[in-house]
Amino acid sequence: MKPNRRTSAVVLALALLGVLFVALVLVGNQALRGARIDLTADHLYTLSPGTRSILAGIDEPVHLTLYFSDHATRDLPQLRSYEQRVREMLEEMAQRANGKLQLEVIDPLPFSEDEDRAAGAGLSAAPIGSGGAKVFFGLVGTNSTDGQAVIPFFQADKETFLEYDIAKLIHDLTMPRKPVVGVLSRLPLDGEVDPRTGGVQPAWAVLQELRQLFDVRMLDAQRLRKIGDDVQVLMLVQPRDLPEDALYAIDQFVMRGGRLAVFVDPDAETDTAGAADAEGATPLAPRSSDLPRLFKAWGVSYDPNMVVLDRARALSIAMSADAAPVRHPAVLGYTADDLNHDDVVTANLQSINVSSAGAFALAADGTARLVPLLQSTADAMRVPAARVRLQPDPSALLVGYRPDGVHYVIAGWLEGRFRSAFPERRDAGHLDEAKAPGRILLVADTDILSDRLWVQMTPFFGQTLLNAFANNGDFAVNAVDYLTGSSALISIRGRATARRPFTRVEALRRSADARFRTKEAELERELADTERRLAGLQQEKGKDNAQILSPAQKQELEAFLRRKLAIRRELRDVQRQLDAEIEALGSRLKFIDILLMPILVTLAALAYAWRRARRRRAAGGEPW
């Protein structure tokens, strides 16, 4: 009877556990509705502090309508899964808004009034549903004053931008007036007419981003006498050959407490109009910019003729469509390790790309403070800008490379109580010194703002979508946001790009690249030396026999060719060694992830079972 009673007790215990499990699931489903634990490395599923701040600051009711074609997407499981992700985030935001955020979900059936309202609000319908049916998947937001903002279509491949896009939409609906940002630029930030084709080039993506958040006003340097008091932030981009009145207006703007962001460059690659200003100038003319008078008054040291090279952060680029990519030590991809994580502007950014950038430092007699935001690695060095501009082969810049061991400041805050650079002027309202300590953003690169370094534009059903692959735009908008005193979106925007480079693989590539360049330099030196010797031998033979090779010449030429082939074999060996090291690293990682961890878990389970059985035997019970 004992076995039967034991079996009955086991069955009863299992039944009670089952009932208890179901009860706990039901209770937990109700009591813990909306609760979750975010175990992702970057907390991608947790609302950012900026989002929570925006939601807490909603003063008037905001109504959000999510249009999703539920019936038409029954055969699109990936899109339906992403819709659930979007809806869950909207529901969580609504819960945290203390009743000020209302959410409505609508399925706009074909030929219905809901479909007409969705189209009338500006949502895009994609013909990707069952049988080619149009699919709506967008968001419409309205406030109590008839303000409206929309997200035309949620793209699944832009999930990392999801929280920012929704938070920005809510932020736009709650802002009564956009801050005014003045832009004084020599570069075609606002687009231009292509003189070759007559076509109109669109505005740069960074300016489009700024216009979504701010009232952007383009300023004319030739007519500038004073910067209006309603301008909160002034952006100077490639300030070259500014009239004295414009410089004085900038100077007094800073003295009055205005916020300034300066983008200068020792070689502005996008300044294509710079060379045409001077008679007889060529495309190779200097394209540098500087503010020598203002920088001197502020205690800033900046050389407009020197470019920072950084071998450790060199990006691989193709100089032409049919050319193989080569590492360019002046086109740099900086990572989170090179950014200041103690500053709100760069705290959450992951990558910033620059091209032929300069560097800032404090003058010997300066009293200001320079706080770095973006620095080079210690493997950097500075070279004349003309050497970078005139060098058709970027790999030649690595020949004779000697790092300075200095972390050059490419972007940073200049802090202090600034003095006027025009003490001799006595215009009405002139100030010799700033009213209070201030901050000026200094960036030694203007190409950082160009589209090619951070964003790819993709047409999508009559609209242009911006797909960012670096945080350049986030950096510029974050900085302007901070200078206007509005930083709620900063902690969200920086999460848009989360690039995780294989640092060990990159280190192996850099090591092999350095060896490759050394061998290549040896080959070039031997080639040049042999050609000089051959030319000397031919001159000795005389003009009549210049085209006849002597046995000595033939022997030397054959020796050179053999040596050239040998060095090429060595170069191939270096490349094969690189591939072997990377493949070995990959094999080790696969062994650890696929075999070693399961083996260790299995051994741990067997050891636990053996130890438990041993204890039961020692206690006189059954082994299992």
Enumerate the β-bridge partners of residue 263.
237, 443
Domain boundary among 456, 482, 500: 500
C-alpha 408/C-alpha 266 separation (Å) is: 14
Q: In the structure, what pLDDT confidence band is assigned to residue 521 with cuts at 50, 70 and 90?
A: low
C-alpha 481/C-alpha 440 separation (Å) is: 13
Q: Would the pLDDT of 332 be above 90?
A: yes
In a domain, 615, yes or no: no
Q: 591 in helix, strand or coil?
A: helix
Reported as a single tens digit per residue, the pLDDT across 547-599 is 566 677 677 767 766 776 676 666 666 656 656 666 777 777 778 878 788 88
Per-residue model confidence (pLDDT) at position 159: 79
Contact 449, 455 (CB under 8 A): no
Contact 206, 472 (CB under 8 A): yes
Domain count, the chain: 3
Q: Which two tokens stand for residue 266?
A: 């020792």
Reported as a single tens digit per residue, the pLDDT across 80-132 is 999 998 999 999 999 889 899 999 999 999 889 999 999 999 998 888 877 77
Residue 620 gets the label, from left (phi > 0), alpha (psi -120 to 50) or beta, of left
**54 and 160 belong to one structural domain:** yes
Reported as a single tens digit per residue, the pLDDT across 224-244 is 999 999 999 999 999 999 999
Query: Residues 97-102: contacts with CB within 8 Å, 24+ apart?
Result: 97/55, 97/56, 97/58, 97/62, 98/55, 98/56, 98/58, 100/55, 100/58, 100/59, 100/60, 100/61, 100/62, 101/55, 101/58, 101/61, 101/62, 101/64, 101/170, 102/61, 102/62, 102/63, 102/64
Q: Is the model more confident about 44 or about 177?
A: 177
- State the average pLDDT for the chain: 83
Per-residue model confidence (pLDDT) at position 368: 93
Q: In the structure, what pLDDT confidence band is assigned to residue 342 with cuts at 50, 70 and 90?
A: confident
Q: Would the pLDDT of 153 be above 80?
A: yes
In a domain, 137, yes or no: yes
In a domain, 352, yes or no: no
**427 and 519 belong to one structural domain:** no
In a domain, 265, yes or no: yes
Least confident of 102-106, 211-215, 331-335, 450-454: 211-215
Domain boundary among 449, 465, 500: 500
C-alpha 54/C-alpha 58 separation (Å) is: 7
Burial of 270 (0-12, 13-18, 19+ CB in 10 A): buried
Per-residue model confidence (pLDDT) at position 129: 75
Mean pLDDT (whole number) for 214-218: 95
Amino acid identity, position 464: T
Please give the residue range of the domain that contains residue 518: 506-592
Contact 270, 187 (CB under 8 A): yes
CA dihedral 525, 527, 532, 535 (to 10 degrees): 180
Q: In the structure, what pLDDT confidence band is assigned to residue 280 with cuts at 50, 70 and 90?
A: very low
Contact 51, 95 (CB under 8 A): no
**184 and 291 belong to one structural domain:** yes
Per-residue model confidence (pLDDT) at position 517: 62
Per-residue model confidence (pLDDT) at position 536: 61
**How long a stretch of residues is the chain?**
624
In a domain, 33, yes or no: no
Least confident of 33-47, 156-170, 472-486, 586-600: 33-47
**425 and 545 belong to one structural domain:** no
CATH number, domain with residue 127: 3.40.30.10
Per-residue model confidence (pLDDT) at position 498: 44
Q: Would the pLDDT of 275 be above 50?
A: no
C-alpha 269/C-alpha 321 separation (Å) is: 19
Those residues with Cβ within 8 angstroms of residue 423's Cβ, 6 or more apart along the chain or in another chain? 432
Q: Would the pLDDT of 278 be above 80?
A: no
Per-residue model confidence (pLDDT) at position 574: 61
Per-residue model confidence (pLDDT) at position 452: 93
Per-residue model confidence (pLDDT) at position 518: 65
Q: Which two tokens stand for residue 303?
A: 């050389």
**266 and 154 belong to one structural domain:** no
In a domain, 231, yes or no: yes
C-alpha 171/C-alpha 163 separation (Å) is: 12
Mean pLDDT (whole number) for 268-275: 75
Mean pLDDT (whole number) for 473-489: 84
C-alpha 154/C-alpha 149 separation (Å) is: 14
**484 and 437 belong to one structural domain:** yes
Task: Quote the percentage of the chain above a pLDDT of 90.
Answer: 44
**492 and 550 belong to one structural domain:** no
Distances (CA, A) of 24 to 18, 29, 33, 298: 10, 8, 13, 66
Mean pLDDT (whole number) for 596-619: 83
DSSP 8-state secondary structure symbol assigned to residue 324: P
**149 and 81 belong to one structural domain:** yes
Domain boundary among 500, 516, 544: 500
Q: Which two tokens stand for residue 605?
A: 């389970």
Reported as a single tens digit per residue, the pLDDT across 39-96 is 666 666 678 888 888 899 898 899 999 999 998 998 888 899 999 989 999 999 998 8
**461 and 560 belong to one structural domain:** no
In a domain, 319, yes or no: no
Question: HSE on the CB side for 179, CA within 13 Å?
Answer: 20
Contact 313, 332 (CB under 8 A): yes
In a domain, 113, yes or no: yes
Q: Would the pLDDT of 147 be above 80?
A: yes
C-alpha 582/C-alpha 379 separation (Å) is: 23
DSSP result, 501-564: --HHHHHHHHHHHHHHHHHHHHHHHHHHHHHHHHHHHHHHH-STTTTSPPHHHHHHHHHHHHHH
Q: In the structure, what pLDDT confidence band is assigned to residue 201 with cuts at 50, 70 and 90?
A: confident
Those residues with Cβ within 8 angstroms of residue 176's Cβ, 6 or more apart along the chain or in another chain? none
**521 and 478 belong to one structural domain:** no
**In 3D, which of 237, 227, 287 has the Cα closest to residue 263?**
237
Per-residue model confidence (pLDDT) at position 599: 86
Contact 181, 237 (CB under 8 A): no
Provide, for the chain, the percentages of residues in helix, strand and coil under a 3-state DSSP scheme, each rounded to the nearest 5.
Answer: 45, 20, 35
**In 3D, which of 246, 245, 240 has the Cα closest to residue 266?**
240
C-alpha 312/C-alpha 310 separation (Å) is: 5
Q: Would the pLDDT of 448 be above 80?
A: yes
Distances (CA, A) of 588 to 501, 503, 581, 596: 18, 16, 11, 10
Per-residue model confidence (pLDDT) at position 221: 95
**140 and 261 belong to one structural domain:** no
Q: Would the pLDDT of 218 be above 60?
A: yes
Q: In the structure, what pLDDT confidence band is assigned to residue 365 with cuts at 50, 70 and 90?
A: confident
Determine the number of helices (DSSP H) and then strands (DSSP E) in the chain: 14, 23
Least confident of 4-8, 68-72, 337-341, 469-473: 4-8
**555 and 576 belong to one structural domain:** yes
Per-residue model confidence (pLDDT) at position 30: 72
Mean pLDDT (whole number) for 198-220: 89
Q: Would the pLDDT of 198 be above 70?
A: no
